[in-house]
Structures are given as structure tokens and as C-alpha cells.
Chain A
């Protein structure tokens, strides 16, 4: 009997020590990983949305809590006023899972500067063509006040042929981001002004 007790005690002790060590490592290095993820994963999308080197804009980041979600928002300033926002959104229901996209918003003009895909797991040759410029550039200049939709659903955006599911996910993500910016714009600006 004592053998079994010993087995259980030793095994649970090892498991306990190990998970504590892991949790500690994760808490300790979490912020560093976040920084690296921003630089390498979000960096390229931000560069294209803002037309500035990633290193300049990566620090301009606030996290806004909307309901249960925490949404990362990046911004740039022009003459001290916040001119452009980049909002990360999840495009639900892509074929290979959810898409992570970033929507650029020009606050002065009230329209979008573009849509960029941060990460996706779509099929190469079909859904993965969402990264192509011919699809993405359709977003430029669309007004923030209206929801976007694919042509099939009475909107203006051309879906990628053979990948309607993926295109739909990008559209849903964009609408999420637009809804968020309409509802939370004041809060975003307030959070940014409190940053310094």
C-alpha cells in the first residue's frame, strides 16, 4: 500500500513543481513574447497600413476592453492629434479556422485605409489568396459609417473566386472592427491621451 502512496506523492510533486516552473516562465517572459509577436507578426501589416516602419508604430499600442474581449489598437499621430488607427479583429468562420485581421481607419476622413491579414490558416492557392493585394485594396476608402458586404450579399466587395468562405470571414472581421470603432472611438482616444 505504501508503495502506491509513494508513487502518487512523487508523481504529483513532480507535476506540481513542473507546472509551477512553467507558469513562472510564462509570466516572466510573457511580455517579451508579446513584443516579439508584435514585431514579427503584426509588424508587416502595420507597416502597410500606416506606411511607416514597424518600429515607429509598435510602441503606439493600447488595449481596449470591449465587453469580454480585449482588443489591441495601434495608432499614429499627426501634429499631436491621433490621425490613424489600426484595429485588430477576428474574422470568424474562415475555412481553416478564424482569421486575424487588422483594419486601418483614417479618423479625419472617416474612411478605411485598408485591411491587412495578420494570420490565417487557409488553404494555399484558394483561401490563402486573401493576402493578395487585388483583394485587400478593395477596402481602401470605404466609409467607416457603413457595414461592408460581398457583392453576393448586396455589397461592393468582390469575393476571391473559390474561397467565398474565407472572403466572408474577412468581411465579418471588418464589420466587427467598424462596430467597435463606432462604439468605442471616444474611449480609444481617451485611453491614448492618458498614455503619456
Chain B
């Protein structure tokens, strides 16, 4: 049992890490990763929703009739997302303004519905919550990484602190829209290269 919990906990951090391994949830990964801080904020918000929605869906999995399960999941997820939105507006207002409509859009993030349907509806609450936490943490990690790459090279700073000094000419391309696509594409390719080098049998869809 403990073994299974541990393997679930670590799976989200590499084996199933979104959006690289589990190619889901690309929209926020592209949209809010202008800076490391925004990426981290979005990642934590998503992880929070993911953990709680997995827990709720799993606890109710024997009560919800299968015909209305998707509708019920959507209601549960939408509620959690709205609560996150209210919390962020109350305590992290500038961040909430920066992330804008991408916070309510967590509702349609395929990762959340995907884990609810694919994992939580078949497993008991504790392990489902751990799965949510692990996939969420992996997502937060990825978003922070993408945000860091774009911020360091695109703006010459990291979490708002300058890293290169005055003489550095930032590649503004990276913080603009096309840069997001290229950064994620390049990171994805690096990840594939590493996996192949390690001899893992894994081919990116």
C-alpha cells in the first residue's frame, strides 16, 4: 500500500509530468508563462483544484450515477475553480489581475477533467488526492520552468530579480506570443532527447 502511494506520488513528477509527458493543459502553459512568478502561481492554483477535485470525485464515485458523472464533475470542478478565483482576488490581487481569464479557464483544462475521469473515478480518495497533488506539482514545476526560461532570456530577470546585468540585451521574442510556442516545443524536444538517451521506451504522440 505504502509502495503504491509513493509510486503514485512520484509518477506525476516525471513519468506523467504535464504538459510534456501528458500532453494536456497546453493553453495555460503557453499563456501565463511570461514570467516564472506567473507560471508558479498558475501551477499552484491548478494543483489546488486538481487535488481537491480528485478527492471530491473519488469520495462521491459510488454515489454519482454514471450517466451524469461528467456533468457532476464539471459542477464540482467549476465550484473549486471559483473558490480559487475568490481566494486569489482576496489575497493575491495583482497576480489574479495578471492571470485574468486564465484562472476561470482552469475549468476547461483537460488535465483536471482527465484525472477525475481517468484516475479518481476508479480509486479511493486518499490515493486520488495524492495523484492530484503529484500531477499538480508536476504541472506547477513545468510551468515554473517554462516561465523561468522565457523570463531569464526574454527579460533578463528571474522572479523579477535581474540576472544578467545592464549589458544584456533581452530576446523580447521569447516573452511574446510566438516565443511561448517555440520554448515549449524546444523543451519538449529536449525531454524526448533525454528519454531516448536513457533508453526509455517512450515515444511522444
Given known contacts A36-B89, A37-B93, A39-B93, is B75 in contact with A7 (CB within 8 Å)?
Answer: no
Cβ of A29 to closest chain B Cβ, rounded Å: 4
Chain B residues, Cβ within 8 Å of A14: 60, 64, 72, 75-76
Given known contacts A14-B76, A22-B79, is B90 in contact with A7 (CB within 8 Å)?
Answer: no
A32 pairs with B94, CB closer than 8 A: no
A29 pairs with B86, CB closer than 8 A: yes
From DSSP, what is the main secondary structure of chain A's interface residues?
Answer: helix
Cβ of B66 to closest chain A Cβ, rounded Å: 10
Asked if A6 is at the interface of the complex by the 8 Å CB criterion, the answer is: yes
A10 pairs with B93, CB closer than 8 A: no
CB < 8 Å neighbour of A11 from B71, B82, B83: B71
Residues facing A in B87-141 (CB within 8 A) are 87, 89-91, 93-94, 97
Interface size on A, residues (CB 8 A): 20
Asked if B201 is at the interface of the complex by the 8 Å CB criterion, the answer is: no
CB < 8 Å neighbour of B64 from A10, A33, A36: A10
A32 pairs with B91, CB closer than 8 A: yes
Chain A residues, Cβ within 8 Å of B93: 33, 36-37, 39-40
Bound-state Cα–Cα, A37 to B168, Å: 36
Asked if A147 is at the interface of the complex by the 8 Å CB criterion, the answer is: no
- Which A residues are within 8 Å of any B CB, using their own CB? 3, 6-7, 10-11, 14-15, 18-19, 21-22, 25-26, 29, 32-33, 36-37, 39-40
- List the 3 closest A-B pairs by CB distance, nearest first: A18-B79, A36-B93, A32-B90
